Amino acid sequence: MSKETVGVLFIDVYKSTDVKLGEKQADVEETFAAYHAAVDQAFSAYGGNRWHGMGDGAIYVFPDSRLAVGGAIRLLGDLPAFDVDGNKLESSIHVRVGIHKIPASLIQGVPQATRGQRPTGDLDIAGKLEKNCPVGKIAISRDVMADLDNVQQALFRVSAVGPLAGGSAFVLENRNLMPRERALAKGLSPAQSSRLPPMPFRSWDRLCPSEGMGLKQLHEILREPLLVVLGETSDDPGSAVHAAATSDAVGAIEILSATRANTAVTAGIDRWADTADVACGRSMLIVGSGIVNTYAFAINDLVRPVRFSKAESRVMDRVVVETAEGKTLYGPHADPPKDCGFIVLLRSPVNPHAHAVWIAGITGMGTQAAARCALDLVSDADATVRERLGTGNFNPIACVVGATTPSGSSDIADYYRRWRIADYDLVVGIYNQGRAIRKDRGLTTR
């Protein structure tokens, strides 16, 4: 503490209350005791000392900011092993780290009893960096960036979106996947998987929408702070995901144009590193199948009512629907329609207090049909469900649709890449308790 400046590091566990929810108290205590020990070990190797603890978070002080960055990178490298050996909980533990350089005099002689008071000035900068840091990463101030050598600087980039945008903060470029996440990303290239946001909440029990919430509330959900994720991943050798159709963006634009003005919309491409930066604080509209969108690829196996068939880490051209009757397959070499798509609502696997809406199709025409259905739901959900499924007393969390052409027109194959899909058949609607309404058979129950 004799030096003029020191590195100060704020760290906290992302959504720690939600991570503990429904877990045995003994497992929670054992896991977090092991986690705090892992943090202390990683930071002490770089000269870091715990200055103050606050719940599941803490403030550490390092001899200089370079050592603080080194300790943080060491910890992120250690957490995947902890996820296997030390974590007894269902959800993975992800952290957010903020680092700043401050005068040593600010923390010298501060009594332990007053260290928990709201920080101000330079100390608060590190706290704000941690609070707004993308999950699973490190955010550093401009002063810290200036202290790093070329090797360390190459690990960081300017934050372009979200609360840290503006050039005053730098964010770690990539993150390590937790072993429990790797199954979701299996089939993606390392570059693609490292740019996905962390998905700590992966069981359908956690992701199923709350009672009474369904696609009839789509217009409300799309007025929440929103991240629109479009697929544009370039062909990557060895990857299961390929370039997306431009038509996917058309549907998203038309859907949002039908909602009441929402100034809190950010759009991103799945391959962009900063798209994941804002995923934890917003609901998501994911457009496209797992064939063209890495976010869709990752959540596919998490979604129970409707998803794509997946084999050998590749998404297949069949839609799987699970209802009280069992599984039904739609698409080529399955039940018609061939050019089908779906809309599904779930809690976000990134943040269970936010929503995710997934619109996708087997083909670009199927995605267009699903987007057209979503547009109708936004415009008049009650009328759409009543007219398309024959009952208004039903609030589905998922719908399967088939692309159609105007009456008397040529076969739908002639529409491929030539015309927009302006209409659809609503084939089935699924409620979150396993109930479903099929256009040809009516309501089914458990």
Q: Which of 85-89, 116-120, 388-392, 418-422 has the least mean pLDDT? A: 116-120
Range list of H helices, 120-277 = 121-132, 142-147, 150-153, 179-185, 190-194, 204-207, 218-221, 247-257
Give the Cβ contact number of residue 404 at 10 Å: 19
The pLDDT, as a whole number, for residue 2 is 43
| Pick from 319, 316, 321: nearest CA to 304 | 321
* Region of residue 150 (phi > 0: left; psi between -120 and 50: alpha; otherwise: beta): alpha
3-class DSSP state for residue 161? coil
The CA distance from 322 to 103, in Å, is 60
- Tens digits of residue pLDDT in 374-424: 999 999 999 999 999 887 788 999 999 998 876 545 566 666 556 678 889
Is the separation of the CB atoms in 126 and 10 below 8 Å?
yes
| DSSP single-letter state for residue 119 | P
In degrees and rounded to multiples of 5, residue 370 shows phi and psi of -65, -40
The per-residue b/e assignment along 185-200, b for 16 or more CB within 10 angstroms, e otherwise, is: bebbbeebbbbbbbbb
Which run of H or of E encompasses 169? strand 169-172
Q: What is the CA radius of gyration of the chain?
A: 24
- Mean pLDDT score, 165-194: 90
The pLDDT, as a whole number, for residue 123 is 82
Q: Determine the CATH number of domain 5-176.
A: 3.30.70.1230
The CA distance from 150 to 74, in Å, is 18
Percent share of the chain, pLDDT over 90: 67
Strand ranges for 1-154 from DSSP E: 5-13, 49-54, 57-62, 95-103, 138-141
| DSSP single-letter state for residue 45 | T
| Pick from 146, 381, 350: nearest CA to 259 | 381
The CA distance from 337 to 403, in Å, is 8
How far from 322 is each of 333, 341, 396, CA to CA, in Å?
Answer: 18, 15, 13
* Region of residue 187 (phi > 0: left; psi between -120 and 50: alpha; otherwise: beta): left
Confidence of residue 191 (pLDDT cuts 50, 70, 90): confident
Give the dihedral of Cα atoms 383, 389, 392, 394; nearest 10 deg. Answer: -130
- Tens digits of residue pLDDT in 53-76: 888 999 999 999 999 999 999 999
Average pLDDT, rounded, for the chain = 89
Is the separation of the CB atoms in 215 and 396 below 8 Å?
yes
Range list of H helices, 45-164 = 65-85, 121-132, 142-147, 150-153
How far from 415 is each of 181, 360, 392, 406, 421, CA to CA, in Å?
Answer: 39, 18, 32, 11, 8
For 252, the token pair is 């998203």
Question: Would you list the domain boundaries of the chain?
Answer: 5-176, 186-444
- Tens digits of residue pLDDT in 216-255: 999 999 999 999 999 976 666 667 777 666 778 888 999 9
Is the separation of the CB atoms in 194 and 211 below 8 Å?
no
Q: Please, which residues have CB within 8 angstroms of residue 7's CB and are 6 or more apart in sequence?
A: 61, 62, 63, 64, 65, 66, 67, 68, 69, 99, 100, 101, 144
Half-sphere exposure of 266 (CA within 13 A, CB side): 22
For 184, the token pair is 């979701």
- Tens digits of residue pLDDT in 35-49: 999 999 999 999 999
Q: State pTM to two decimals.
A: 0.91
The CA distance from 39 to 56, in Å, is 11
Confidence of residue 1 (pLDDT cuts 50, 70, 90): very low
- Mean pLDDT score, 86-108: 93
**Single-letter residue type at 391:** T
